[in-house]
């Protein structure tokens, strides 16, 4: 099976809080409304994983709006934290939808 190469994974560039619908990720991703993404937890509570159906995307700003509010907190920062902590602690965001 073959499909078009996609931007499958990114990191949060701003904190995302429970109750918010907007998240900010790297700019110029090829994600679209109707696709699903997952936000990994950034704390010890694995229940803070969020699955989001995308309502809208502004690629130039890296703004993704979810149809439903987030249920957990997800850490984000403009730059990698690896210089401080030895690992990039920013929340991972992955595209679940495929185009095969």
What are the tens digits of pLDDT across the range 43-100? 887 778 999 999 999 999 999 999 999 999 999 999 999 998 899 999 999 999 877 6
Structure tokens at 50: 């969020």
Helix, strand or coil for residue 83? helix
CA–CA distance from 9 to each of 19, 84 (Å)? 23, 22
Give pTM, 2 decimals: 0.90
- Tens of pLDDT, residue by residue over 2-56, are 667 788 999 999 999 999 999 999 999 999 999 999 999 998 877 789 999 999 9
pLDDT of residue 43: 84
The closest of 41, 40, 32, 50 to 98, measured between CA atoms, is 32
Where do the domains of the chain lie? Answer: 9-95
């Amino acid at each position: 099976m073959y499909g078009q190469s996609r931007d499958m994974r990114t990191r949060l560039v701003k904190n995302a809080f429970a109750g918010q619908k907007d998240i900010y990720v790297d700019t110029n991703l090829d994600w679209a409304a109707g696709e699903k993404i997952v936000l990994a937890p950034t704390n010890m509570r694995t229940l803070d994983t969020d699955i989001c159906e995308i309502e809208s995307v502004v690629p130039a700003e890296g703004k993704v709006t979810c149809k439903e509010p987030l249920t957990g907190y997800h850490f984000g920062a403009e730059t990698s934290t690896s210089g401080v902590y030895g690992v990039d602690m920013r929340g991972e965001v992955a595209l679940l939808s495929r185009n095969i």
